[in-house]
């Protein structure tokens, strides 16, 4: 996200563009504010040259390299979303370790000569699972998100207070890198509750002694809904539209100041679909010229949606499930290596800043290749469930009611009366549901399609019906809380009004790998079998270490759909439909010095005639294939 902080545009860049004074966040207290035309750092005009980088999408071991690459492109400021759901996955249980150690990310940014703009939400959208909200919010009585609602305000206050305790010492007024903080996130696209916005502003000001700004689309309703008295109003999108819109629709003088383009999309994100191609800027001359001319970057470096952390985007009456790769066609690719547009932007920035103020680009080693290796079927997913169901009920229960946020949930019903016809799932499928009868797959119902498909079932007394629901990602932007509840909501019927009552439900969050994967047991998959875990190992080529030199992209050329773990770390989802056809494997997650790394693959649709294999590729391939389960 590159932001224009002076009305005169890029030519107004000043000599403040320099490394920060000290790596010690308490050494030199400072001040960051603004007048009607300029941002002011310690009283002097300051042009923000910024890009978005979210630390929780990047391995902690690689934070410094990514920040050095930002500085070497000419950026002086990093904008970072904070993901509440990663920090507080259960109420009151906080995790600021590893990728969640955002304070350390900001300290490293300062050491590398970068300022920081904090974007804490609580809603951050950002193609993040439920916009960064923890799933457990949906289980609190009376909860209404992003409203002047007591339960939501209480939960948010706990979050912002805990975040403030970790970060307030790093604000510019304490000598740290944090210049300002964003209030909410494009709230004018959601609502116009000024009482709610004021409550959010009060919480932020209680924790941070820096000024706030709002960021909204360049339209009348967006700006009127999202602007708040006493808070600097800014816009995103095309600056030609946004800047003019702010001048026209924001009349409160307490919300006026220098123009700032809060998000200008260099391209767009990818979603899983046979009909959705990979979005890219490098190599597209017209797109690169537009970016360089505007010199606006929303996503400098996208990173990765590890594990189950991606969102879905509700658009055109379907859930567009965001891919594991959050490459975003950004100047710095998912593996932290510069693209063609990176170099073009660097060239442009270098013409407008003092000579020698941009450091040399650090040398990144080439990506590693790993020879093809075999994966052996070891255990079925259904074997890993608990001996007894987590709950038994007349109707299916939601994932959240079991205290589960991500992964899979299995519903089982023993048929008591013969019935036939189309299987209907509650108020409609919310995700991807694989239907089994007596252990054999009979169909898939998939919300990533406008028409999710239907399954015809002919059931006899004594048959076992199993519904495996995969949480493909909560919608990152939604008005209705109930849309965020996962699993099956409502009755399951067959044909005309034949309600199936009596369900056993099993929670399968896969927050950790199941036991039994290393016991030497083997299974023999058949077509239409339930999901199977495959195991194997691989070694890095000679000379590659546990760092950037060991980075690779894992391809599973015969896989259909599933999840991958390397040395116990959940890398994310794969799906033959594309456009993503390989998973980023950081070298820091791989064992070096000739040692073997363990790999586990959960294949949701195993086949009898397929030997599953994997390989590490150095040149990434994107593409689309037909969906074998397309409705």
What is the reported pLDDT for 297? 56
Q: Which residues fall within 8 angstroms of residue 426, CB to CB, at 6 or more apart? A: 396, 488, 489, 490, 491, 492
3-state secondary structure 336-395: CCECHHHHHHHHHHHCCCCCCCCCCCCCCCCCCCEEEEECEEEEEHHHHCCCCCCEEECC
Strand order of the β-sheet with 408-414 is 391-393, 503-508, 408-414, 464-470, 432-437, 440-446
The SS3 assignment for 7 reads: coil
What is the reported pLDDT for 23? 41
CA distance 159 to 123: 12
Q: Are 82 and 120 in contact (CB under 8 A)?
A: yes
Number of Cβ within a 10 Å radius of residue 71: 20
* 8-state DSSP, 258: S
- Helix residue spans in 74-217 (DSSP H): 84-87, 102-111, 150-167, 194-207
What is the reported pLDDT for 206? 98
What is the reported pLDDT for 543? 82
3-state secondary structure 504-535: EEEEECCCCCCCCCCCCCCCCCCCCCCCEEEE
Name beta bridge partners: 6. 38
Q: Which residues fall within 8 angstroms of residue 292, CB to CB, at 6 or more apart? A: 341, 344, 345, 348
Q: How many CA atoms lie within 13 A of 23 on its CB side?
A: 6
Please compute Rg for the chain using Cα positions.
25
Number of Cβ within a 10 Å radius of residue 622: 16
Q: How far, in whole angstroms, is CA 122 from its chain's centroid?
A: 15
pTM of the model: 0.93
Answer whether 32-264+295-303 and 370-379+513-617 agree in fold: no
Number of Cβ within a 10 Å radius of residue 156: 24
Q: How far, in whole angstroms, is CA 378 from its chain's centroid?
A: 30
Q: Are 32 and 179 in contact (CB under 8 A)?
A: yes
Hey, which bits of 5-114 come out as E strands? 32-34, 39-41, 44-46, 50-53, 77-81
What is the reported pLDDT for 203? 98
Name beta bridge partners: 401. none
Q: Structurally, what CATH architecture does the domain formed by 395-501 represent? A: Sandwich (2.60)
* 8-state DSSP, 61: G
Q: Which residues fall within 8 angstroms of residue 154, CB to CB, at 6 or more apart? A: none
CA distance 478 to 314: 8
Q: Are 312 and 472 in contact (CB under 8 A)?
A: yes
Residue 630 burial by CB count (10 A; 0-12/13-18/19+): exposed, middle or buried? exposed
CA distance 239 to 4: 9
**Taking the domains of the chain in order of start, what are their residue ranges?**
32-264+295-303, 370-379+513-617, 395-501
- Output the six-digit token pair for 71: 């500085």
Hey, which bits of 448-513 come out as E strands? 456-459, 464-470, 492-494, 498-499, 503-508
Fold topology of 370-379+513-617: Jelly Rolls (2.60.120)
Number of Cβ within a 10 Å radius of residue 94: 16
CA distance 543 to 592: 9
Torsions phi, psi for 473 (to 5 deg): 125, 125
CA distance 366 to 337: 9
- Output the six-digit token pair for 294: 């505007």
50-53/299-301 β-pairing: parallel
77-81/115-119 β-pairing: parallel
Residues labelled as active-site residues: 186, 263
What is the reported pLDDT for 497? 85
What is the reported pLDDT for 380? 96
| CATH 3.20.20.80 fits domain 32-264+295-303 | yes
Which residue ranges of the chain lie beneath pLDDT 50?
Answer: 1-26
């Amino acid at each position: 996200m590159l932001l224009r902080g002076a009305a005169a545009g890029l030519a107004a860049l000043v000599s403040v563009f320099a490394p920060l004074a000290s790596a010690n966040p308490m050494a030199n207290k400072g001040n960051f504010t603004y007048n009607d035309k300029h941002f002011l750092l310690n009283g002097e005009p300051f042009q923000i040259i910024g890009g978005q980088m979210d630390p929780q999408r990047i391995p902690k071991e690689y934070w410094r390299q990514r920040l050095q690459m930002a500085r070497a492109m000419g950026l002086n400021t990093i904008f970072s979303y904070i993901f509440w759901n990663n920090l507080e996955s259960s109420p009151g249980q906080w995790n600021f370790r590893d990728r969640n150690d955002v304070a350390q990310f900001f300290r490293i940014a300062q050491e590398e000569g970068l300022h920081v703009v904090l974007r804490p939400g609580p809603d951050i959208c950002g193609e993040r699972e439920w916009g960064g909200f923890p799933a457990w919010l949906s289980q609190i009585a009376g909860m209404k998100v992003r409203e002047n609602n007591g339960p939501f305000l209480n939960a948010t206050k706990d979050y912002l207070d805990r975040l403030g305790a970790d970060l307030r010492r790093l604000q510019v007024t304490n000598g740290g890198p944090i210049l300002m903080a964003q209030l909410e996130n494009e709230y004018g696209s959601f609502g116009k509750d000024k009482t709610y916005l004021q409550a959010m502003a009060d919480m932020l000001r209680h924790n941070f002694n820096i000024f706030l700004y709002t960021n909204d689309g360049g339209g009348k309703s967006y700006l009127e809904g999202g602007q708040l008295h006493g808070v600097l109003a800014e816009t995103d999108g095309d600056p030609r539209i946004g800047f003019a819109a702010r001048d026209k629709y924001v009349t409160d003088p307490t919300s006026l100041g220098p123009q700032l383009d809060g998000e200008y999309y260099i391209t767009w994100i990818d979603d899983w679909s046979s009909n959705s191609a990979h979005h890219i800027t490098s190599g597209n001359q017209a797109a690169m010229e537009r970016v360089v001319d505007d010199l606006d970057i929303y996503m400098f470096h996208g990173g990765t949606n590890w594990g189950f952390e991606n969102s879905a985007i509700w658009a055109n009456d379907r859930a567009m499930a965001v891919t594991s790769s959050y490459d975003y066609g950004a100047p710095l690719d998912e593996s932290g290596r510069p693209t063609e547009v990176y170099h073009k932007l660097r060239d442009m920035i270098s013409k407008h800043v003092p000579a020698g103020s941009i450091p040399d680009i650090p040398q990144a080693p080439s990506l590693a290749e790993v020879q093809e290796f075999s994966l052996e079927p070891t255990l079925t997913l259904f074997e890993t469930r608990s001996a007894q169901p987590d709950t038994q009920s007349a109707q299916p229960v939601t994932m959240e009611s079991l205290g589960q946020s991500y992964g899979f949930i299995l519903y089982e019903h023993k048929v008591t009366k013969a019935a036939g016809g189309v299987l209907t799932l509650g108020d409609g499928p919310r995700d991807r549901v694989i239907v089994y009868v007596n252990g054999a797959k009979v169909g898939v119902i998939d919300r990533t399609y406008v028409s999710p498909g239907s399954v015809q079932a002919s059931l006899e007394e004594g048959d076992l019906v199993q519904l495996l629901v995969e949480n493909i990602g909560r919608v990152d932007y939604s008005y209705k809380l109930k849309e965020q509840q996962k699993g099956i909501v409502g009755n399951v019927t067959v044909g005309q009004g034949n309600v199936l009552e009596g369900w056993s439900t099993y929670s399968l969050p896969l927050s950790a790998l199941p036991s039994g994967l290393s016991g030497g047991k083997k299974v023999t998959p058949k077509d239409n079998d339930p999901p199977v875990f495959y195991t194997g190992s691989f070694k890095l080529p000679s000379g590659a270490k546990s760092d950037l030199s060991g980075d690779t992209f894992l391809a599973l050329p015969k896989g259909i759909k599933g999840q991958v773990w390397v040395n116990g770390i959940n890398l994310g989802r794969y799906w033959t439909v594309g456009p993503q056809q390989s998973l980023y494997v950081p070298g820091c997650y791989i064992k070096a010095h000739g040692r073997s790394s363990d790999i586990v693959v959960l294949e949701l649709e195993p086949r009898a005639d397929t030997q599953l294999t994997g390989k590490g590729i150095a040149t990434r391939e994107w593409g689309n294939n037909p969906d074998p389960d397309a409705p």
